[in-house]
Amino acid sequence: MLRLVLLLLLGGTHATHFLGTMMTYYPKQTHADGSVTVSLRYKLGFTSCYHSDIWSCLGYCGSLNPTLQEVDMEPSGEWCQREGTMTTLIFPSYLTQLVFAGGNWIDYIQNNVVSWRAETFVELGIRSDTRKPNASPQSTIMPAVRVPSNCQRDYDLMAFDPDGDNVECRFGSDSLLNQCFSVQSCTLSFNRTNSTNEGPYAVQLVLEDFPKQTITLTTVYGAQTTKTTSQAIS
């Protein structure tokens, strides 16, 4: 499961700090002791390239030492997009969760979301269909999107899964969005509104991968978990 933390800007409002993030993981190598070398990749949006990030691991991970590079910056300094990579060892016998959380999300938020929390649940069991560790669903959407308040817009989250699973998207439980927004088939839709509703909206989305047939996930210790087509893998 991936939680995307995005910012939608209606009209010309300027947010002051955090603009969103998303993370994906790629299993690289399985070792004899059961650990897996995993590549973690993520996007960050801040109003300045000077802001930094600290991800924490809930579970059993090796060190998390990110390498960041600047991707794009708005010339007036309104926003900066960066991409980060980390390579670490994860022991899949433990529930592993990567978390990036901070204080107040942004100033002047319109939909009452106060603090940010991005989560990635890592499931690295060996799949019965591919004979490889499970990989996370992917999305290439930018962390911050500007939306004209007077136009209907649909934003394809461009979600896919390297294992061929079906990807479904939904709002996070604490995304207090109004009737202006909806999500269906991994498309985020915005319905036109009037200028009194302009401002920044925090959109917290969850991407989940569902197998196309019933599969089992097996750890190197032999423990197995069955996932049906109606059960999310990660």
- Structure confidence by residue, pLDDT tens digits, 59-68: 888 888 888 7
What pLDDT does residue 200 have? 72
In a domain, residue 232? The reply is: no
- Residue identified by tokens 């088939």 is 185
Does residue 172 carry a pLDDT above 50? yes
Residues paired with 229 in a beta bridge: none
Q: Which residue has the tokens 């009452």?
A: 112
233 occurs within a structural domain = no
Query: Distance between CA atoms of 192 and 81, rounded to whole angstroms?
Result: 27
Beta-carbon contacts of residue 229 (< 8 Å; ≥ 6 apart)? 166, 210, 211, 212, 213, 214
Task: Give CA–CA dist 201/10, Å, rounded.
Answer: 8
- List pLDDT tens digits, range 131-162: 999 999 988 776 666 666 667 778 888 899 99
Print the domain residue range for 91. 2-227
Nearest to 89 by CA among 65, 60, 122: 60
Residue 8 vs residue 62, higher pLDDT: 62
Cβ contacts of 139 within 8 Å, gap of 6 or more: 2, 4, 22, 24, 157, 158, 159, 186, 207
Assess whether pLDDT exceeds 60 at residue 19: yes
Q: Please, what is the average pLDDT of the chain?
A: 79
State how far the Cα of 187 lies from the Cα of 205, in Å rounded to an integer.
11
Question: Which stretches within the chain are classed as H helix?
Answer: none
* Within-domain flag for 148: yes
Whether 44 maps to a domain, the answer reads: yes
Nearest Cα residue to 184 out of 174, 169, 173: 169
Asked if the structure places residue 15 within a domain, the reply is: yes
Report how many domains make up the chain: 1
